[in-house]
Amino acid sequence: MAVNIYTGLMGLLLMSYFYVMATYSHALVSGRVYFFPTLLHGVRIITAIMAIRLGKLWRNKGFLILLTYYAMISLRILIFKPDSLFTEEVSDSLLTGIWVFCGCYGLAFVLNREQLKKYLFVLAILWTVGMTVNSCIGVYTAWSGRWIYTIGKGSYWGVSSEGRLWLTYYMTTSGSVLSISVLIALAGAYIAKRPEAKAAFIAASIPMIIALSLTDSRSAQVTMAVGVAVLIGIALIQRLQIKGGKGDRKTWLKWAAVIIVMAVVFATMIFISMKTIAVFNRLKADGIISRAIAETGEQISQTISNRGYTGNNILTDRPAIWKAALQVIKRSPKTLLFGVSIADPMAAINQIDPIGTHVSHCHNMPIMILLENGAVGFLLIGVFMFLLCRGMFRTMKNNHKERWRIAVIAPVISILVGELVECFVWLRAGEAPTLPFFFILAGVIIAGGLEKPERNAQHVLTLSTHKG
- Name the strands in the sheet holding 156-159, side by side, starting at the edge strand that comes first in the sequence: 148-149, 156-159, 165-167
Has residue 301 been placed in a domain? no
Could you tell me the end-to-end alpha-carbon distance of the chain, in angstroms, rounded to an integer?
37
Distance CA(74)–CA(79), nearest Å, equals: 9
Distance CA(85)–CA(94), nearest Å, equals: 9
DSSP for 15-65 reads: HHHHHHHHH---HHHH--S--S-THHHHHHHHHHHHHHHHHTGGG-HHHHH
Has residue 330 been placed in a domain? yes
Helix, strand or coil, per DSSP, at residue 157: strand
Per-residue pLDDT of the chain (468 residues; tens, 9 = 90+): 899 999 999 999 999 988 888 887 765 555 555 567 778 889 999 999 999 999 999 999 999 999 999 999 999 898 888 888 888 788 888 999 999 999 999 999 999 999 999 999 999 999 999 999 999 999 998 888 788 887 766 677 888 888 899 887 788 889 999 999 999 999 999 999 999 999 999 999 999 999 999 999 999 999 999 999 999 999 998 888 776 655 678 888 888 999 999 999 999 999 999 899 988 888 876 655 555 555 444 444 567 888 888 766 777 788 889 999 999 999 889 899 999 999 888 888 888 766 556 788 899 999 999 999 999 999 999 999 999 999 999 888 876 678 898 999 999 999 999 999 998 888 887 778 899 999 999 999 999 887 765 544 443 333 333 333
Total number of domains constituting the chain: 1
Has residue 334 been placed in a domain? yes
Has residue 96 been placed in a domain? yes
Has residue 302 been placed in a domain? no
Backbone φ and ψ of 442, nearest 5°: -65, -40
Has residue 22 been placed in a domain? yes
Has residue 305 been placed in a domain? no
Q: Which of 170, 278, 168, 281 is nearest to 219 (CA)?
A: 170
The enclosing H or E element of 142 equals helix 113-144
**Residue 309: partners with Cβ closer than 8 Å, 6 or more residues away:** 218, 270, 274
Has residue 307 been placed in a domain? no
Full residue range of the structural domain in which residue 206 is found = 2-294+317-467
Is this model's pTM higher than 0.75 or not? Answer: yes
